[in-house]
């Protein structure tokens, strides 16, 4: 994301602080600011990959509707009292382990995920994936086994036609599917608070064998474009246990993509593993 983004904090509701205080057993440190650049480096990556040709679709949601779907120790992250449901389609490119070169075939595939926005007791903002559809069986099996992520093997394709991109997905078992078509618009020179909130996410909250896990990531600033939504036919959100979105999304964005580095999972105390 170019220009003026540097370290502008985003407003949030008191839901986060009240939720942790009410629990009585978790102390809340100040929330991380939403920043265009990652708050911490990733000198020794656990995973490397690139996210390319991304379509970001988002709908507003009541925090109370999504709170039960988040991992223990996290609550919905909010902007002006509202949280969001994200549907993000893109090309995963050359997933690699540690500093090894990315894998060209098995590590490259279409993906579509359903995600929520979270914050933990250490003030770390992140995303929670409710589902991740991918077209390569081996990466799906590895992600489900190694990280306990809800990946699903699906038939998927991405078609480009000038400034229009169509992403399709249909699960090999069941009827869950999505078809998204966007038209890429102008470059975003000064993203809004909402656009920062939805895209500048520097970690993932999950659980691993019943324990809370935070997996940090870093990448260059997002190059964002506005986008027009031509078609959205999907039931991945409802299949993920979320209220089916009503009406058009409140935000539609496109990015040509960024290279990404994932760090090692943080210990429960918030300290990264060596």
Looking up tokens 């407003």 gives: 11
Is 33 a member of any domain? no
Q: Residue 94's beta-bridge partner residues?
A: none
237 touches 87 (CB < 8 A): yes
Is 25 a member of any domain? no
Pick the closest to residue 177 from 260, 234, 113 (CA basis): 234
Is 112 a member of any domain? yes
| The total number of residues written for the chain in this structure | 274
Please, how many CA atoms are within 13 Å of residue 165, restricted to the half-sphere of its CB?
21
Is 165 a member of any domain? yes
Is 38 a member of any domain? no
Q: Taking the model in full, what pTM does it have?
A: 0.86
Is 21 a member of any domain? no
Question: What is the domain range of residue 98?
Answer: 45-262
Strand, helix or coil at 118? strand
Is 39 a member of any domain? no
Other CB atoms within 10 A of residue 158 CB: 21
140 touches 147 (CB < 8 A): no
**What would the pLDDT profile of 197-241 be if each residue is shown by its tens digit?**
999 999 999 987 677 889 999 999 999 999 999 999 999 999 999
CATH number, domain at 204? Answer: 2.40.400.10
Q: What does the pLDDT profile of the chain (274 residues) look like in tens digits? A: 333 333 344 444 434 443 444 333 344 578 888 898 898 888 788 888 999 999 999 999 999 999 999 999 999 999 999 999 999 999 998 786 666 555 565 679 999 999 999 999 999 999 999 999 999 998 898 888 877 889 999 999 999 999 999 999 999 998 999 999 999 999 999 999 999 999 999 999 998 767 788 999 999 999 999 999 999 999 999 999 998 877 899 999 999 999 998 888 865 544 444 3
Please report the pLDDT score of residue 109 as a whole number. Answer: 92
Rg over CA atoms, the chain: 18
**What would the pLDDT profile of 41-54 be if each residue is shown by its tens digit?**
887 888 889 999 99
Is 272 a member of any domain? no
Q: What is the tally of structural domains in the chain? A: 1
* φ, ψ (nearest 5 deg) of residue 41: -75, 165
Tokens of 13: 């509701």
């Amino acid at each position: 994301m170019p220009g003026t983004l540097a370290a502008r904090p985003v407003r949030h509701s008191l839901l986060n602080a009240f939720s942790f205080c009410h629990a009585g057993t978790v102390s809340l440190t100040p929330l991380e600011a939403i920043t265009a650049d990652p708050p911490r480096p990733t000198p020794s990556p656990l995973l490397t990959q690139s996210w390319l040709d991304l379509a970001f679709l988002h709908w507003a949601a009541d925090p109370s509707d999504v709170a039960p779907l988040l991992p223990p120790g996290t609550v919905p992250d909010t902007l002006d009292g509202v949280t969001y449901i994200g549907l993000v389609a893109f090309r995963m490119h050359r997933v690699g382990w540690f500093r090894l070169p990315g894998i060209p075939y098995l590590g490259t595939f279409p993906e579509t995920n359903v995600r929520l926005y979270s914050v933990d007791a250490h003030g770390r903002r992140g995303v929670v994936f409710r589902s991740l559809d991918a077209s390569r069986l081996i990466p799906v099996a590895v992600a489900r086994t190694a990280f306990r992520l809800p990946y699903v093997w699906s038939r998927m394709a991405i078609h480009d036609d000038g400034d229009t991109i169509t992403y399709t997905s249909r699960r090999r078992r069941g009827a869950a599917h999505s078809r998204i078509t966007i038209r890429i618009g102008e470059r975003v020179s000064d993203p809004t608070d909402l656009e920062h909130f939805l895209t500048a996410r520097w970690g993932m909250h999950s659980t691993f064998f019943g324990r809370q896990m935070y997996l940090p990531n870093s990448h260059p600033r997002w190059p964002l474009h506005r986008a027009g939504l031509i078609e959205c036919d999907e039931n991945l959100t409802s299949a993920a246990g979320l209220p089916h979105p009503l009406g058009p999304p409140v935000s539609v964005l496109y990015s040509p993509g960024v290279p990404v580095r994932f760090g090692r999972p943080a210990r429960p105390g918030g300290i990264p593993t060596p």
